[in-house]
Chains A and B, each alone.
Chain A
Amino acid sequence: MSETRNEQLAVLESMVRIRRVEERLAELFTQGNIPGFIHVSIGQEAVAAGVCSGLGPGDSVLTTHRGHGHAVAKGIELRRFMAEIYGRQNGFCKGRGGSMHVADRNVGVVGANGIVGGGLPIALGTALASQYRGEKTVTVCFFGDGASNEGTFHEALNIAALWSLPVVFCCENNSWAQFTPQSSYMKVTSVAQRAAGYGMPGTCVDGSDVTQVRAAAREAVERARSGGGPTLLECKVLRWQGHYVGDAQKYRAPDDVKEARTHDPIRSYAEVLGAAKVLEPGDLEKIEQCVKAEIDDAVAFAAASPMADPADLLTDVYA
């Protein structure tokens, strides 16, 4: 496997972009600039960046309430993304969806979903559309370990395998279902084991290691693209923060959080690239500067955007 320096730096940059976007979102939310609530994926950036690095604009991504990273990695335009989360008129959804419903069909971000497990059956349909039309496009459906206990998980994986649909079910297993630890809701600790029950391959990787994620995702995407059917790809990740921004995590041992934060996918990939002389002194600073400028611009755009238009309250219910 050979990949260019640019590809590797792009993956690093994508992770940095997700991290800084979510740090900024958390800050803006805490300051009261964003209504509702915000769920961040800080510490889990390798999954979004790694999986999406192997996708093209024609491929579809469905994501979750913790989905900023997937949308950003898939190439969503940051200005309208930020405006949506601000609830503004020129957000992607005219301020009707917010953080949990960001979408941009033009880059294949089909839509984020506020219902745990709600996207899994929909991924069957987006993948079926590719197969129906004879396209070589694929769907990636992100979900969590909590969602794997919903009935929709079972229905979706069975049909995807049965019909050899071009879909990758990417489970981000962060071992928490909101405030409840995994030992309280699953007998098995690996969601990937469940793939066997559907007759599809299941793979489990360290979701903090973007190199592992990329390799496993590449294989799964290639299988889907070439007509080989679905894969259940499990990425074990660590939740650095609470379920939502502001969650004091009193239900969680402080050492557990501390330990989680020692697994930093950005720092470790930067070290790998540094050791390989791919990342040269000054490169990371340049990436940070570039990302900061993009985010500053997006936030300024969102903050200056008009509020959601009252005249729009009643439109778009029907076509």
Chain B
Amino acid sequence: MMRETRYIKAINEALSEEMARDENVFVVGEDVGGAGGAFSATRDLLARFGPRRVRDTPISEAAIVGIATGAALRGLRPVAEIMFADFLTLAMDQIVNQLAKARYMFGGMYTMPVVIRAPCGAGLHAGPQHSQSLEAWFAHVPGLKVVMPATPHDVKGLLKSAIRDDNPVLFLENKALYAMKGEIPDGEYLVPIGKAEVKRPGKDVTVVATSRMVHESLEAARILAASGIDVEVLDLRTITPLDREAILQSVARTGRLVVAHEAVKAFGVGAEIVAMVCEERPALLRAPPARVGAPFVPVPFAQEKLYLPAAADVVRAVQGVVSA
């Protein structure tokens, strides 16, 4: 049986189910307790699991990640919340130098089952310091996994997988999707980390999309269908480890590649994907690939619509690739 739920509620369900399942799982972050989270992701968890396992912190992002790291070194499975992905910058040493490297640097002595949840993305007029998509920075760090779910179904299944994963997972939720509704199964299910999914099959061009851009790409596919262009939308779901096989298989079917993400286009995940296809299977490409991403400016407060990549940008990119 399927039922409808919102993206934010799906996150809450995943946390609640995993905390009930495993006593070692706890949540820690700013406003996660009494307030139930700035976006309600942790609503009712305090009442259900108590203050030992639902821990409100001061506004101290480095400490939040440090708590998670230290607790994982001692065998716990923390889920840290950083209120906005932009604030991950305040914890960069703890994430990059400490958490991500602990297993390798200490010769495999430790497993580091830490999840850091953080809402990313623009669309709420939150301004330059509350709207960024920084996934490429973290995808560049060996030791981290980076996950970006696009639907209520995937956010729940991936968060449960992330909590059960023995590695640090940066779990980037798109806050513009929090209110989105979608179908999820009634019972327990997992979505594997590292597996992309074809959200719409097509034969003319592959659009590899992440997070909110999955929906913009699906909209673009509907528009392009009217002019006879059949777009395949591949939702990457996980940034690292990158599902190379799924990308190459899709491009093998279509012969054309567009990558669409909300982060600035320059030096982004799109560049990595295009480079990977060009290096590994250049013969698959019947046309030069294209990237859709934000311009190289901070996220503006008022002119968000102008800034944000949208379906129309994907349509243009696909038309360009198809006519090349």
Interface residue ranges, A against B (CB under 8 Å):
60, 91-97, 101, 103-105, 110-111, 113-115, 118, 120-130, 132, 139, 151-152, 155-156, 158-159, 162, 315-319
Contacts and interface: CB of A to CB of B under 8 A. Distances in A.
Interface of B: 26, 52, 57-58, 60, 62-63, 65-76, 78, 93-94, 97-98, 102-112, 142-143, 145, 166-167, 241
B105 A115 contact: no
9 contacts: A93-B106, A114-B97, A124-B70, A125-B67, A125-B76, A128-B76, A316-B107, A316-B108, A317-B143
Given A125-B67, A128-B70, A159-B57, A319 B62 contact: no
Nearest to B166: A319
B240 to A, nearest CB: 10
B70 A159 contact: no
Contact of A96 (B66, B78, B104, B167): B104
Given A155-B60, A316-B108, A318-B167, A120 B66 contact: yes
A164 to B, nearest CB: 13
A124 B63 contact: yes
B71 A132 contact: yes
Q: Which 9 A-B pairs have the closest CB atoms?
A: A125-B70, A121-B66, A129-B74, A93-B107, A316-B108, A94-B107, A319-B166, A155-B63, A155-B60
Contacts of B93: 115, 118, 152
Contact of A318 (B65, B74, B78, B103): B103
A95 B241 CA distance: 26
A319 B110 CA distance: 9
A286 B251 CA distance: 74
Nearest to B96: A115
Contacts of B142: 317
B66 A122 contact: yes
A130 B70 CA distance: 11
Nearest to A319: B166
B14 to A, nearest CB: 21
B41 to A, nearest CB: 21
B63 A156 contact: yes
B309 to A, nearest CB: 31
A151 B105 contact: no
A308 B309 CA distance: 47
Contacts of A316: 103-104, 107-108
Nearest to A91: B107
Contact of A128 (B62, B67, B167): B67
A101 B102 CA distance: 10
Contacts of B107: 91-97, 316
A132 B73 contact: no
